[in-house]
Amino acid sequence: MLRLAIQKSGRLSEDSLNLIRECGISFVNSSLKLKTESTNFPLEILYLRDDDIPGYVADGVADIGIVGENVLVEEGKQSLTVEKLGFSKCRLSLAVPKTMEYNSIQDLNGKNIATSYPNLLKAYLQEQGVEADIHTISGSVEIAPSIGLAEAICDIVSSGSTLISNGLKEVERVFKSEAALIANDDLSEEKREILDKLLFRIHAVQRARKKKYILLNAPNESLDEIRALLPSIKSPTILPLAEDGWSSLHSVVNEDDFWEIIEKIKAAGAQGILVIPIEKMII
Ligand code: PRT
Ligand code: ZN
């Protein structure tokens, strides 16, 4: 059985659990439990604080884990990374009071900066040739300037609204982060095999998230033009419609460029276009 550590309750929890469920792995989830076993896959889930996950995986208490890269790199455990998972995207940024005149990172020389990420910040300041005092605090970093604890902060930002509501402005991006799957580097052969099976499923889920299934009707004379606009996995499926001279075309498009493609295929004569989410995609 493979042991997976995920965050018990916080910003990573729901997306981590959803990913495992979308992989077809069932388990009873209870926020009161500290661990649970899957009923249909050799996986046990441990619920932990995110900060403890890299250490537990490094020590082999858990075999694999899901954690933010910000925590992973801060703890110097980036070598455990198996792959990025594409959710919980955020950045670690430097921010100063919005009234402060700020021209470049050099303006932070000699300043006092509050953060929960002293290692990431130290490395960044060194790289930039800035000498500042780092004041490590474990939470509520954004209020440090207003209570006179620090002149600047270095904290996680996603929408930026926390900074704005605390009278701060983002001035430098120190580190870009997203959730990552990590693994102990000394897994037994049996556990490696289970991890490979899990990764196979994760890839099928991730591939599907980026794609849409598209169906459309078109007059036969437009089909070549439409086909050229629709890169499909192999080649699109084309079926005749009951109405003479018309066909139905089925294909797969990238989520990112599907609006652009849809305008073009409409212009080329496509009608009755349906765009459908794909649950799993194995190629
Ligand atoms: O209790 P535990 O220790 O497990 O959880 P935690 O409180 O330490 O972590 P949690 O749940 O807040 O975050 C877990 C992970 O989610 C982080 O390590 C990041 O990788 C990621 N993440 C993504 C974020 C955010 N977005 C985020 N917005 N982590 C924190 N924030 C906070 C930030 O600290 C700031 O207070 O949200 C505020 C800023 O948000 P915006 O949207 O106003 O900019
Ligand atoms: Zn934490």
To the question of pTM greater than 0.85 for the whole model, the response is yes
3-state secondary structure of 157: strand
- Cα 11 to ligand 1 centre (Å): 6
Residues with Cβ within 5 Å of ion ligand 2? 50-51
3-state secondary structure of 44: strand
Scanning the structure block, which residue is given the tokens 């995207």? 89
**Mutation choice for ligand 1 from 6, 8, 11, 153, CB with most ligand atoms inside 8 A:** 11
Residue-wise pLDDT for 128-156, tens only, equals 999 999 999 999 999 999 999 999 999 99
Tell me the two tokens of residue 17. Answer: 């659990």
CA–CA separation, 215 and 230 (whole Å):
11
- Res. 34: pLDDT tops 80: yes
Q: Residue of the nearest CA to atom 39 in ligand 1?
A: 157
Q: Quick one: pLDDT at residue 247?
A: 97
Q: Is 138 in the pocket of ligand 1 (CB under 6 A)?
A: no
- Res. 223: pLDDT tops 80: yes
Residue-wise pLDDT for 64-82, tens only, equals 999 999 999 999 999 999 9
**Mutation choice for ligand 1 from 85, 156, 177, 181, CB with most ligand atoms inside 8 A:** 156
Q: Quick one: pLDDT at residue 31?
A: 66
**Which numbered atom of ligand 1 lies nearest the CA of 179?**
20
Q: Is 51 in the pocket of ligand 1 (CB under 6 A)?
A: yes
**Which numbered atom of ligand 1 lies nearest the CA of 89?**
23
* 30-to-11, 13, 25, 43 alpha-carbon distances in Å: 17, 12, 15, 16
Q: Is 21 in the pocket of ligand 1 (CB under 6 A)?
A: no
Tell me the two tokens of residue 188. Answer: 């037994």
- Cα 194 to ligand 2 centre (Å): 28
CA–CA separation, 29 and 42 (whole Å):
16
- In total, the chain counts a number of residues equal to 283
Q: Residue of the nearest CA to atom 14 in ligand 1?
A: 11
Q: Residue of the nearest CA to atom 33 in ligand 1?
A: 156
Tell me the two tokens of residue 3. Answer: 């042991």
**Which numbered atom of ligand 1 lies nearest the CA of 178?**
20
Q: Is 177 in the pocket of ligand 1 (CB under 6 A)?
A: yes
Work out the average pLDDT over 246-275. 92
